[in-house]
Structure formats: C-alpha cells, structure tokens
Amino acid sequence: MKLVCSKTLLVEGLNIVSKAVATRPSMPILECCLLTADEDGNLKLMANDMEMVIQTGNIESEVAQAGSVALDLKVFSDIIRRMPGSHVEISADEKYLTVLKSGKSEFKILGMNPDEYPALPDVMKNQSYKIPAADLRNMIRQTVFSVSQDNTRPVLCGQLIEIGGDVVKIIAVDGFRIAMREGVLENEGQMDTKVIVPGKAMSEISKILPTDGDAVVTFYVTDKHILFDLGNCIVVSRLLEGEFVNYDNMFTNETSTLITAVRTDFMESIDRATLISKDSKKSPVKLKVADSSIAISSNTEMGASYEEITVMQDGIDLEIAFNPRYLVDVMKVLESEKITISFTSSLSPCIIRVEGSEDYKYLVLPLRLRG
C-alpha cells in the first residue's frame, strides 16, 4: 500500500474512529485501526471493539498502490498529529512495516495483518429510517444520561429506540429515573420496531453526528445490529437482547400538585443545595411546595441550606425529597426556560416536562423523608 493524503482529513478520520477502539481488548489487533486504500484514490479507516464498529467515508488520497494494513491507533494517531507537513505519505510492505513521511519527518512502525481484523458486520438495508441529525443529537443528549451503569442488568445499559409510524422515541432507564424523548421520522410507512442500543454507542454517535443543519441520518435495523449512516462515517452497533422496562405505564396522568418553574432558577437552586454535601445519595434535597413557591433545603453533617423560588402552583401543598443530581442532570439538557413538574404524593415519582409539550418526559423517584 502506498498513498499520500491530507494530514487534516486524516486526523479528522482518526478522531472519529478512535471512539470504537477497545480500551481492554481481548485481542491485540483490536487496539488497531484498519487502513484500506483503493485504486480509485480513496482511503477508509475502520475501528472495531466487537461491540461497535466505525468506518469513515472516503478520505480523498493519491493512491499509488492499493492495499490495507492494521496499525496501533494510539501510536499512529500520535505520530500523525505531530508531523510537520500538511500532507502525509503512508506506505506499507508485504510484512506490514509501515513508513510515515511528512516534510522532513519519517517514522517506521510495525503493522499487523489486515486479514485478521474483524470485518464490518453485514447489515441488510431493506428497511431505512431517516431523521434530521440535529434532532437525533438532541434526542440522545436529553436521554443518555439516564442509562444504567449497572452491568448486572444489561438491558438497562442501553437505550430503547421505539418506532411506530413516523414517530420515533428514545428511552433510557436506570432504575431510579426514566428519560423519554420523542421525534418524527422524515420517511413514513416504515416497519414498526423496538431495539435496544448500548448507551456507549449512542453517546459516541451523538458526538460525531454531522453539524450541518440540513444533514439527515439514515439508519437500518436487523435482528442483531443497527447501522447508522451519518454521511461522514458509518457506525454499526450490536443490539442488546432482552425485554425493556414497560416505561409507558409509569408516566401517569394523575396529579395532585402541578408547578411551573423557570428552569435555570430551579436548577441553580438545587445545585447550590449540593454545596454542603459530599454524597448526594445520602444527603437529599427537600422540596416544600406551598403558596406558589418552592422552599429548597438540605441538611447534612457539614451544615444546612435554604432558599425559595417563586413558581406557579396548581393543587395541594407538598413536601418531597430527591437525589439532587437526578434533578440537575435533566435541567442541564433541557432548552426551554419553562418547565412543569407534576407530583402525586411525597412517595411517588414526579414527572418533569417542557411547558406545553409532550415530546419530552422525565420521571424520577423520590427519597423517603427522614422523620
């Protein structure tokens, strides 16, 4: 293999595929990225951690000799970033000794046999779903923080993608809270489906989605995999097996107390209440809703805090306590300045929505008040 390509484009490609390189690889070759150059003057990069695969689109190159080689991604990436010129020459011989040249700088690194590299999973493209990239990014961003980190419940370590007609929902549950975001597909008449995608894959996809305002993402689903065509790259993730939580029944319409609040005021008050706590799980914040205000207080071994914010209140007065992090997490990802919070009792979950919209729902379990 022998080619010359832009250093800038190569670094951009390496940034993308680096998200799919195994941190604790079961095989040494999984620490590598696969470089493949074809006779049409294109270079592709691919990384595979056996859970997720990322392959770049074509990186325009001057290809003197087509071929492929697997290179340790960290070593390769570190070298390319520090090379002095604007273009890089890459050549690999039959023993995978790879020479990298740029300006007057030259490196030699030993690559691995590309035939040993795991292939890109074959995903049939019979059924396609299309959604604006900006919508998908927001849907993931506003839910992925609720994915469970408990590996004893693997299904909850993923996000449910549920499609019915032209409506797509993304849901995350960690046992203490549920985040649900709804969007609209650009193409109608597609098959209804439900799949569970690992949270790590969803998080990485949100980071590399194209930022072009008109960009559209196409994805395809099979029994074992989901493929996202992001335009600048392809991401294939395995699916998680199992039955997801029946989340819909948990979003009750019963309400005894409904408040409307300014999101930033509420978030900043909760955040300040955590300043006197080392462990939010052991030091909940208490909310007392009364007389169109919320009194937010916290008592810990370090001290106490108290403040009030003005809200619109409909319904009875109420006292309830929460892990403050669960409240701050959702406030950070919402964009509307007005939110509604509905309560049924001091021991029942509350439901947070954007005012005037059902596109986003967030349910969080309370903590039992002491005394």
Confidence band, pLDDT 50/70/90 cuts, at residue 322:
very high
The region of weakest confidence among 25-39, 148-162, 184-198, 269-283 is 269-283
- CB–CB of 366/339 below 8 Å? no
Given a cut of 90, whether residue 51 has pLDDT beyond it is: yes
The token pair that represents 192 in the structure block: 């209804």
Q: Any idea where the domains of the chain sit in the sequence?
A: 2-116, 128-247, 251-364
Q: How many residues does the chain have?
A: 371
The architecture (CATH level 2) of 128-247 comes to Roll (3.10)
Question: Residue 151: what pLDDT?
Answer: 87
The two domains 128-247 and 251-364 share their CATH topology (first three levels equal): yes
Confidence band, pLDDT 50/70/90 cuts, at residue 371:
low
The region of weakest confidence among 24-28, 115-119, 357-361 is 24-28
Question: Residue 102: what pLDDT?
Answer: 96
The token pair that represents 298 in the structure block: 């916290």
> How far apart are alpha carbons 78 and 127 in whole angstroms?
39
CATH number of 251-364: 3.10.150.10
- The predicted-structure confidence for 169-197, as pLDDT tens digits, reads as follows 999 999 999 999 999 999 876 789 999 99
Given a cut of 70, whether residue 370 has pLDDT beyond it is: no
Superfamily of domain 2-116: DNA Polymerase III, subunit A, domain 2 (3.10.150.10)
- CB–CB of 260/312 below 8 Å? yes
Given a cut of 90, whether residue 96 has pLDDT beyond it is: yes
Rg (CA), the chain: 25
> How far apart are alpha carbons 176 and 330 in whole angstroms?
13
Report the chain's mean pLDDT, rounded to a whole number.
94
Question: Residue 67: what pLDDT?
Answer: 97
The region of weakest confidence among 43-52, 205-214, 262-271 is 205-214
pTM of the model: 0.92
Question: Residue 174: what pLDDT?
Answer: 94
| DSSP-derived 3-state class of residue 87 | strand
